[in-house]
């Protein structure tokens, strides 16, 4: 059966809250989950959880036994097991994004909530939340096997509630499947039957997370007792390791070409086939890890590397260049891929909250697969479908990548490398493109001079200076279902100043760049490059950073939050009592429902004129403020918005501002 892509549309029949798990200081206690370009969305992992529940219900309603139901759920949605077998029929989900036709001004509204105790408001429980307005539409995608199309479509239609506060009427939705598309193999323009190097370029369609270090328990000593504490943060790599791409290729071949894979797996998994790191692409140029050892003064006017200066000048610090760089005409320009932080909840009984980071959608990366046996290329290229999935949580909206290109090449070419036309000096600068370490007599040895000297075919070799950092490389063995032994390596960007005698031949340098050095080269480790004219590198001075441009809606929301936090109800005598404030808010809520604010002004007129002067004093100041907000000036003037900013201005919006003003004025001061 072939894989298909189902596109569906979700309409909000009531207000909904897609919570990010964070609050906005001075604003909402519950904020919405937003993309990097400030658009609301619902994660694919959330939809996956909702679909699992409805899928189970649908199977039970159709008379399947409990064992058959659980077997189908595991087959389609998998198990919470790191080493679980990947099924051909596993469902994959993309995030749900708001349709572009929806005006931004109609996306949000603010709501307030309290807890009740014995029928009255419980003190200190007032909370505000940002809600998505009813009527909005979101689109999403689920990848499934063709034989499961009807089952998935029916289960999607059964989802009726999403988001927070569903028991209070929020999150009522209706879902309809829009269209179906068959997923095809990537069109490589020509059939690649043989190649010594396959070069591919991909673009992230969803966030991608390749965790740097596996989440593990750590210990600390406190008050004389040893206590276990679980780490709740996982960092992601800002590139794609070769082992990640290798896992994707191997899994596809093992499932779709089992006979060929069984006969060729030793070649495919050995060091004669090397899956190199996929690095970010900037302005159509592949970057390199930024060389270490660059320092600058605090104003970043002086810039130098310690391999030439030999020491750091007083008061200077490491230069902030970026994780990656491009080098052109002896000019170095830094770049750091953008990431986003995502709060999640761990499966299991403890339900622990933890945070992960992920590369943003739109990031372009390029990598290579080097083949000492060119005939393997014909089958490896088949694993590159038009859409591939990499990294963690790839069945829950992460790691969806579009293959932009896949070409045969003779070798990976670095723009900073030496060529046949260059005269090779005796002093060389060797940089680690990926983590690297060598072994000697079965032990980790860092850089083994004797081995490196033999590779370069020189009489003498010495490391004169170096600028390095180390990293602990972990892994997971799916065969034995346990963590692989950790290895300490020199990190990417570590650079070594080598003194050779005589100068090596250029062919030796290029061959070492092609094959790499050290251990685990099949996973992309040990990749190096010799940087030409490293001692002459200068930094490109970046122009002044542009101020981040806020959207019209963001400016309005910030101004609204600022007004609410800066303005409070009068508290000193003469001021309204708690019951009178509650009565006023009741009038405002009725006015929102009836679209008639006359009751509010009748309330003030009655209390100021008909119940005595002393009683009326309580209402004068608050009445003037409400008169100004509701009648005398526009909402734009009330919030002090700039002339070029527009906002929705009607009775309902002004009354909501008044209700939030009353709520937040009482919050935390004992008047709730």
Q: What is the pLDDT of residue 165?
A: 78
Task: Name which of 119-123, 199-203, 526-530 the model is least confident about.
Answer: 119-123
383, pLDDT greater than 80: yes
Q: How confident is the model at residue 418 (pLDDT cuts 50, 70, 90)?
A: confident
Burial class of 144 by CB neighbour count within 10 A (0 to 12, 13 to 18, 19+): buried
- Placement of tokens 């080269």 in the chain: 521
The values of phi and psi at residue 459, to 5°, are: -80, -45
* Nearest residue to 208 (alpha-carbon basis) of 343, 323, 395, 361: 361
CB distance 281 to 287 below 8 Å:
yes
Q: What is the secondary structure of 255-303 as a DSSP string?
A: HHSHHHHHHHHHHHHSTTEEEPPBEEEETTEE-EEPPS-EEE-TTS--E
- Of the pLDDT bands very low, low, confident and very high (cuts 50, 70, 90), residue 309 is confident
pLDDT of the residue at 291:
92
Q: Which residues contact 25 (CB under 8 A, 6 or more apart)?
A: none
How far apart are the C-alpha atoms of 208 and 91, rounded to whole Å? 17
**What average pLDDT score do residues 522-549 get?**
77
Proportion of the chain above pLDDT 90, given as a percent: 18
Res 111: pLDDT: 74
At residue 203 the predicted structure's pLDDT band, cuts being 50, 70 and 90, is very high
Average pLDDT over residues 557-562: 86
Position 21 scores a pLDDT of 67
What's the pLDDT tens digit per position in 565-606?
Answer: 888 888 777 888 888 888 888 888 888 888 888 898 889 889
The confidence score (pLDDT) of residue 189 equals 44
201 pLDDT above the threshold of 90: yes
pLDDT at 316 over 80: yes
The predicted pLDDT at position 82 comes to: 46
Taking residue 5's Cβ as centre, other Cβ atoms within 10 Å add up to: 17
Predicted pLDDT of residue 223? 36
User: Is 25 within 8 Å of 32 (Cβ atoms)?
Assistant: no
Report long-range pairs for 596-602 (Cβ below 8 Å, ≥24 apart): 597/630, 597/651, 597/655, 600/626, 600/630, 601/627
Instruction: Please report which helix (H) or strand (E) contains residue 60, including its range.
Output: helix 44-61
The whole-number average pLDDT for the span 387-416 is 83
Place 489 in a pLDDT band, splitting at 50, 70 and 90: very high
What is the pLDDT at residue 586?
86
Confidence at residue 215, expressed as pLDDT on a 0 to 100 scale: 41
Is residue 494 scored above 90 in pLDDT? Answer: yes
Please state which of the ranges 155-159, 184-188, 237-241 shows the lowest mean pLDDT. Answer: 184-188
Yes or no: say if 281 and 326 are a contact pair by the CB < 8 Å rule.
Answer: no
Q: Give residue 355's pLDDT.
A: 76
Predicted local distance difference test score (pLDDT) of residue 367: 92
pLDDT recorded at residue 366: 94
Three-state SS annotation for 284-296: CEECEECCCCEEE
Is-contact 108 98, C-beta < 8 A?
Answer: no
Q: Is the pLDDT of residue 647 over 70?
A: yes
Confidence of residue 479 (pLDDT cuts 50, 70, 90): low
Mean pLDDT of 116-122: 74
- pLDDT recorded at residue 430: 93
β-pair type (173-182, 137-145): unpaired
Contacts of 317 (CB under 8 A, 6+ apart): 295, 296, 298
Burial class (CB in 10 A: 0-12, 13-18, 19+), 507: exposed
Which is it for strands 294-296 and 288-289: parallel, antiparallel or unpaired? Answer: unpaired
Model pLDDT, residue 229: 45
Question: With bands split at pLDDT 50, 70 and 90, how would you rate the model's confidence at 441?
Answer: confident
d(CA 423, CA 270): 35
């Amino acid at each position: 059966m072939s894989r298909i892509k189902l596109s569906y549309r979700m309409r909000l029949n009531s207000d909904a809250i897609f919570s990010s798990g964070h609050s906005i200081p001075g604003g909402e206690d519950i904020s919405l989950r937003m993309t990097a370009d400030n658009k609301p969305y619902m994660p694919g992992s959330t939809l996956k959880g909702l679909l699992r529940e409805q899928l189970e219900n649908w199977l039970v309603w159709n008379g399947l036994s409990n064992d058959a139901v659980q077997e189908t759920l595991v087959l389609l949605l998998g198990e919470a097991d790191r080493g679980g077998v990947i099924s051909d029929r596993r469902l994959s989900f993309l995030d749900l994004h708001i349709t572009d036709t929806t005006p931004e001004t109609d996306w949000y509204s603010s709501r307030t909530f309290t807890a009740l105790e014995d029928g009255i408001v419980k003190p200190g429980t007032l909370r505000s939340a940002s809600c998505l307005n009813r009527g909005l539409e979101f689109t999403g995608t689920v990848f499934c096997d063709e034989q499961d199309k009807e089952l998935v479509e029916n289960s999607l239609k059964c989802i009726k509630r999403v988001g927070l506060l569903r028991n209070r009427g929020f999150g009522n939705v209706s879902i309809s499947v829009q269209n179906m598309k068959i997923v095809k193999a990537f069109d490589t323009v020509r059939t690649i039957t043989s190649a010594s190097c396959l070069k591919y370029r991909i673009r992230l369609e969803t966030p991608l997370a390749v965790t740097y270090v596996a989440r593990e328990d750590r210990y600390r000593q406190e008050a004389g007792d040893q206590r276990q504490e679980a780490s709740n943060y996982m960092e992601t790599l800002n590139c794609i390791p070769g082992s990640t791409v290798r896992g994707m290729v191997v899994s596809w071949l093992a499932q779709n070409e089992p006979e060929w894979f069984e006969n060729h797996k030793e070649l495919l998994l050995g060091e004669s086939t090397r899956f190199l790191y996929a690095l970010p692409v900037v302005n159509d140029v592949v970057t390199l890890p930024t060389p270490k050892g660059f320092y600058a003064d605090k104003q970043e006017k002086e810039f130098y590397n310690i391999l030439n200066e030999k020491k750091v000048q007083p008061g200077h610090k490491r230069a902030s260049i970026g994780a990656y760089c491009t080098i052109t005409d002896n000019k170095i320009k830094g770049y750091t891929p953008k990431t986003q932080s995502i709060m999640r909840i761990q499966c299991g009984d403890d339900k622990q909250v933890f945070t992960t980071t992920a590369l943003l959608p739109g990031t372009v990366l390029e990598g290579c697969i080097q083949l000492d046996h060119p005939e393997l290329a014909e089958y490896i290229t088949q694993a590159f479908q038009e859409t591939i999935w990499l990294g963690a949580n790839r069945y829950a909206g992460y790691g969806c990548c579009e293959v932009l290109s896949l070409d045969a090449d003779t070798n990976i070419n670095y723009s900073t490398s030496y060529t046949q036309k260059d005269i090779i000096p005796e002093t060389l600068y060797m940089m680690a493109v990926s983590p690297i370490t060598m072994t000697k007599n079965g032990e980790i040895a860092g850089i083994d001079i004797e081995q490196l000297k033999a590779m370069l075919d020189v009489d003498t070799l010495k490391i004169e200076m170096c600028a390095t950092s180390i990293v602990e490389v972990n892994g997971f063995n799916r065969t034995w279902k346990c963590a692989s032994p950790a290895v300490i390596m020199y990190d990417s960007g570590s650079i070594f100043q080598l003194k050779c005698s005589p100068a090596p031949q250029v062919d030796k340098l290029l061959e070492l760049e092609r094959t790499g050095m050290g251990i685990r080269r099949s996973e992309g480790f040990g990749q190096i490059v010799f940087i030409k004219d490293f001692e002459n590198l200068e930094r490109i001075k970046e122009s002044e950073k542009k101020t981040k441009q806020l959207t019209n809606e963001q400016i309005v929301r910030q101004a609204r939050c600022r007004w609410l936090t800066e303005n409070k109800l009068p508290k000193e005598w003469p001021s309204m009592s708690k019951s009178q404030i509650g009565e006023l808010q009741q009038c405002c809520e009725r006015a929102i429902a009836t679209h008639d604010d006359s009751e509010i002004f009748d309330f003030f007129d009655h209390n100021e004129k008909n119940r005595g002067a002393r009683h009326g004093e309580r209402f004068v100041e608050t009445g003037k403020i409400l008169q100004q907000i509701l009648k005398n000036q526009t909402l734009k003037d009330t919030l002090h918005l700039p002339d070029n900013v527009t906002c929705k201005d009607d009775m309902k919006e002004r009354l909501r501002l008044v209700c939030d003003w009353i709520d937040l004025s009482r919050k935390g001061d004992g008047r709730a």
